[in-house]
Chain A
Amino acid sequence: MSVRKRTLLAATAGAAMLFALSGCAAPGSDADPATASGPVTLTFWHAMTGPAATELDTLVSQFNAQEAGKITVDASFQGSYADVQTKYTAAVQSNSTPDVLMMNDISTGFMVDSKKTVPLSTFTDKDSSFDADSFPPIVSSYYAAASGGLAAMPFSVSQPVLYLNRSLVTQAGLNPDTPPTTLAEVADWAEKIHASTGAYGMTMNMSDSWMLEEMSASGGENFCTPENGRGSDKVTGLDLTTPTQVAFMGQLQKLFSDGTALNPGTDNSAMVSAFASNKVGIMLTSSGAYTTADPSKTASKVSAFPKTSNSKDAGVVVGGNALWISGDGHSEAQQQAAYEFLTYLHSADVQAEWSSATGYLASNTGAADTTAGKQSLSDPNVAAMADQLANTPASQAAAGCRTGAFPTVRATVIGAFNQIVEGADVTSTMKDAESKAADQIAAYNTAAG
């Protein structure tokens, strides 16, 4: 072997190692939680972008001004929710967790299992001015702590809703002001819109299994077993093959396979822009998409997410994010300051402001009585979203599944559903997904200890 060849070989092997190994090391930082005496500085990690990030910075500045000399919140954007979780796990390893952490809905199970945070109820129990009834009931049950009270402070609340494109719906001879209320009606409308306008009849998020979870809940079905993880036992598996679930997946399969429904793949923003540009008649997605889906606020009609059965437990699960207070390595003064910051963000005025600036729903029912809240609710579309949130029953199905393995199993379920969309048998494909998800959940539960 010539020297040149050996050098090339060594370089290739070196490059191979670099390529193979990059991405396997965890990042770390070395912030040291201060021992508080005098003004307290709080680190706050969040995942907000765009108008929400601007508004959050404004709220933080207002709080800092209000608490000048006592508390300073240092907010920093950390990327997507998945990025935040990755950075948080690295921070746990290097003992540098932030004082306040924003985490999304489905990572609630992981945060509880992490045991690195102090349940919000620890502080609210001692705070007589705190009104535990200021949350919509379904929000309280979503973030409920096992010991009673709340595990975290709900901050940004959203729910899936149904959007109708007024123009396409009217062209199809349908009345947007009497919107469909069941998935069967949605399917019927979608077929009519597609047939008479040539546009897609409907679309929905397909980047993960979120829509399937919501349709299970809107049929009164648990997504996880046992008891959606809301009882005394940990979640050990998924329920994907009840008659209600098989029926709605069959309806969706037909809509996607005959070209009535638009499959947006992983690109949720492309889905919203397709709706906004009159390419889709009906869209099932988050209430948070309202401002981008319909900037004029008059081109669409928003109504409640369709039901998949007439069960009394039927309702949709809330999404969004909550704020967590770190325990280990953070002084009592820091924790108390963090609690004060959270109660500020939960106040009726702040929630009304946050809601009107971002499109999230207010997590404080008192926000409706504020000036900003009244102005938001004068839009019938926003009022429809608020009605749905207020009327969601606090059932186990609508409380939604809680497992730390949720982010992982979502990928499994949407993978299986993509096969169904292309014609695979609903029951057997979802049985396979149930079995794979059970393995993933078991692996997670072992890791969580």
Chain B
Amino acid sequence: MTPQLLEARVDKFIFRVMPGYLYSEAGVWAATDETQQIVRLGLSDYRQQSSGDVAFFNAPATGRRVSQGDELASIETVKVDLEVPSPLTGEIVAANEALEDTPELINQDPYGRGWLVELRPDQWPPAGLLDAAQYLTVMTAQAEAEAAA
């Protein structure tokens, strides 16, 4: 069953947040299964919408270690070249191969088929991430500030 997404409306935009995931303020989500061995990472709905239609996804090399805040991968849209900061420390074990041919999955299904990278975390859950309700509040404030700018 698909979980009920949280949502916020800002102007004409509707931004959704997946419950059960953790989020960085930069709009990168992290989710793991029960084993907590591998964490899947992706962009939040707000981050993908505000970045625009993704033209290219630049995948990282697997086996590389990243620290929290390091560049995890990058995407290119007409609006921005976005370096995606890693929300946690660990080793990259996989990148989403589907994005090579269809990077628009990041826009179409940001919490599902549009995931970016899988990583083996040093620690789970990591410190400093937000739950869905907290991120909804932060994200709404970010969206409203952007709309007012």
Asked whether A and B interact, the reply is no
